Structure 1
C-alpha cells in the first residue's frame, strides 16, 4: 500500500480519479493489482506487481500528456458525452443509443433533487458513465459544449 501511495504522490491527484474512461480503467486495474499483491506468497510476485503498478502510472501519465497536447489523440481515445435530456424533454433516441433505461434516468433526476421537468436544462451521460443533471433557470452554453446532441434527430 505504501508503494501505491508513493506512486499516487509522484503522479499527482488525478492518478485514481474517474475523470475519463481511461482513468476509471486505471483505478480498476490498480485495485486488481493491490489485491494480487496482498495474496502474493513470494517476494518476486510482489516485485512484479510493483513494476506493473509503476508501468500503469507511467502509461497514464503519457496518455494524459498526449490528450492535453493532441486533439486528434483525444478524439481517438475518448468517448463523447451525450445529452439524454434537453430543455425539459427526454431524448428517446439518446436513451436508445446509450442503452440507458428511462427508469434509470428518472432515478438520476430524483438523486439531483429535480422537482420539475421544465427546470431541467440538460442531462448528460458523461464519458465515465456518470450522469450530470443541470437544472435551474439559466444554463451557460459552455457547460454543454462538445456534447453529442441527439435531441434534434
Structure 2
C-alpha cells in the first residue's frame, strides 16, 4: 500500500511539474523571450513569482489547486506585457517601475557615498572587479549597479559616455 501511494505521489508530481513547465514555455512563446529576462526589477520579480507558481502547481492535490497557479502565471505574463507597453509610452510610468542604475566607481575611484546609499559592501565591489578580471583599479573606467542588482564593470583605455547615459551619479 505504501509503495502505491508513493508511486502515485511521485507520478502526479512529475506529471504536474511537466504540465506547468509546458504552460510556462507556451506563455514565453506567446509573450516573447524577454519574459524571463532580468532587464528590470519588474522582470526579476516576475521570474521569482513564476518559479513559486510552478512549484505550487506541481504540488497540487486537485484540479483547482493546479488551475489556479496556471491562471496566475498567465496573469503575470499579462501584467508584464502591459507594463512593458506602458513603459514605452510614458516616462512617468517608466520612472515608477524602473530603478535607475547607480555609478559605484569612476576612473579608478570608489564612490563611497554611492556604496553607502546602495548598501553595497566594498568587499562585494572587489569581488565583482575580480570576476571582471580587473588587475589594477586604475584600469576601471566605471562600475555600475544595474537596475536588476547585477554589477557591470567597464575597464580599458576609454569608456564612451553614451554607455553611462541614465546612470545615477553623485551630486
Normalised by the length of structure 2, the TM-score is: 0.87
Query: Which structure has the larger Rg over C-alpha atoms?
Result: 2
Higher helix share: 2
**In 1: Cα distance, 2:96 partner to 2:43 partner:** 15
Q: Which residue of 1 aligns with 2:127?
A: 107
1:66 positional shift:
0.6
Cα shift readout 1:31-83 (whole Å, capped 9, x = no counterpart): 00000001001011111111101011000000001111111110122111100
Q: Which residue of 2 aligns with 1:139?
A: 159
1:138 positional shift:
1.1
Q: Which residue of 2 aligns with 1:13?
A: 33
**In 2: Cα distance, 1:142 partner to 1:45 partner:** 49
* Residue correspondences, number: 151
Establish whether residue 123 from structure 1 lines up as the match of residue 147 from structure 2.
no
**In 1: Cα distance, 2:89 partner to 2:142 partner:** 29
Establish whether residue 59 from structure 1 lines up as the match of residue 79 from structure 2.
yes
Where 2:166 maps in the other structure, the secondary structure is coil
State which of 89, 107, 125 in structure 2 corresponds to 1:69. 89
**In 2: Cα distance, 1:134 partner to 1:128 partner:** 17
Normalised by the length of structure 1, the TM-score is: 0.97
Establish whether residue 38 from structure 1 lines up as the match of residue 58 from structure 2.
yes
Gaps of 5+ in 1: none
Gaps of 5+ in 2: 1-20
Establish whether residue 80 from structure 1 lines up as the match of residue 103 from structure 2.
no
Where 1:44 maps in the other structure, the secondary structure is helix
**In 1: Cα distance, 2:30 partner to 2:135 partner:** 44
Cα shift readout 1:55-113 (whole Å, capped 9, x = no counterpart): 11000000001111111110122111100000110000000000100011001000000
RMSD: 0.7
Deviates more, 1:41-50 or 1:56-65: 41-50
